[in-house]
Amino acid sequence: MSEVEERITRIKQHKGVKGLLIVGDDGNIIRNTLGSGSDKESKSYAHHVSEIAKKAKSVIRDINPLDDLTFFRIKAKRQEILVAPDKSYFLIVIQNIDEDNDAINRS
């Protein structure tokens, strides 16, 4: 198994991880582990998150041209989206939020 496959497997084993996407700069999906039957959902994540990531990278560059965006996350009520942008692709991890742990974290 390649190093990339090992890392993908390790990420998928984290608690609550629904799946991950590797998306090219053009918004096309390179790798999808969300499972079968979720093609429309995967394309939606790929399109919207890659657009947000491009805008976020631009904002960071506008603030300080020497900085670059390395990671960000978007947290909603039920899911969290973790994004690690690179020069030519985005790693997007979709994680379901554990309500029990989330309640503990808020206290």
Render pLDDT for 24-54 as a digit per residue (tens, 0 to 9).
Answer: 988 899 999 987 667 889 999 999 999 999 9
Task: Give me the number of domains the chain comprises.
Answer: 1
Tell me the whole-structure pTM to 2 decimals.
0.83
Full domain range(s) for residue 98 = 3-106
User: Residue 75's closest CA among 107, 106, 33?
Assistant: 106
Write the CATH number for 65: 3.30.450.30
Residue 79 has pLDDT above 80, yes or no: yes
Cβ count near 3 (within 10 Å): 7
